[in-house]
Amino acid sequence: MFSARLASILVAAIAASLLLSGCAPVGHDDGTAAAPAFPSRPRETPVAAPVPPVVVPVPAIGTAATATTARTAVYVKPGGAIKLSLANPRPSGGPLTFLVVQSIDGWLEVNLPDRPNGSRGWVNASAVSLHSLEYSLRVSTEQNTLTLYRNNMLEKTYSVATGTGGTPSPRGSFYLTELLAPTNAGYGPYAFGLSAYSEVLTSFGGGPGQIGLHGTEDSASIGKSASHGCIRMSNADITALATELPLGTPVTIE
């Protein structure tokens, strides 16, 4: 039975396509899998992540920007040409969320949930709502661990599974883009989408090769290099993080 706190973040189930890929429900050290990472047919339910209170200006840990319109224009520079237009909510059903880099005269430079990894652009501050962040995550692909920090203070270190040598987890600075409750077997009770994409797989299981942080039914894979790039946690650990981490939370993969 879910706790009252956990139940409070669940939303009504709707059909949505989980575009996270680069991982597999049952992984093997040789990079093979029993089934594709995420099917192309919509079978997942988006979950509303905890939303922290609005705080401006940008705090030390960071600020998440959540779109408040049906589409958000992303500009090359403040007041410049439009780089792209992103739908809100995302294809998964979750809210369109950015991680703020800097703020200048009513414009926000943000990290984008798009290829290539590390993409940035500018959005009008009037098109988003801002939320302060206090948590951050750091993944070690060498030690297969995930460390949770709160206000830059170490909270806990978890054992995880990361990508294999042929399908490694991409390294760099990313953030949590969505929180889902997968209904297809193999991914545990929760799956966070990351702004990271596989640098080996341009598509996978009907999705664009997006990297996820999720649970698993293959507990033996935890602590190993066993996925197509996603970060796997035990179901108990991903459930604990799902109750605490808001979208926009920074994630560093090393």
Q: Looking at per-residue confidence, does 122 or 43 come out higher?
A: 122
CA distance linking residue 247 with residue 245, whole number of Å: 7
CA distance linking residue 103 with residue 101, whole number of Å: 7
| Domains of the chain in sequence order | 4-49+134-253 (2.40.440.10), 63-132 (2.30.30.40)
Active site residues: 214, 230
Q: How many CB atoms lie within 10 A of CB 102?
A: 12
Q: Give me the pLDDT at residue 7, please.
A: 37
Q: Give me the pLDDT at residue 19, please.
A: 42
Give the pLDDT confidence of 172-199 residue by residue, as tens digits.
Answer: 999 999 999 987 778 899 999 999 999 9
Q: What is the pTM of this model?
A: 0.79
Give the pLDDT confidence of 156-175 residue by residue, as tens digits.
Answer: 999 999 999 999 999 999 99
Q: Give me the pLDDT at residue 30, please.
A: 41
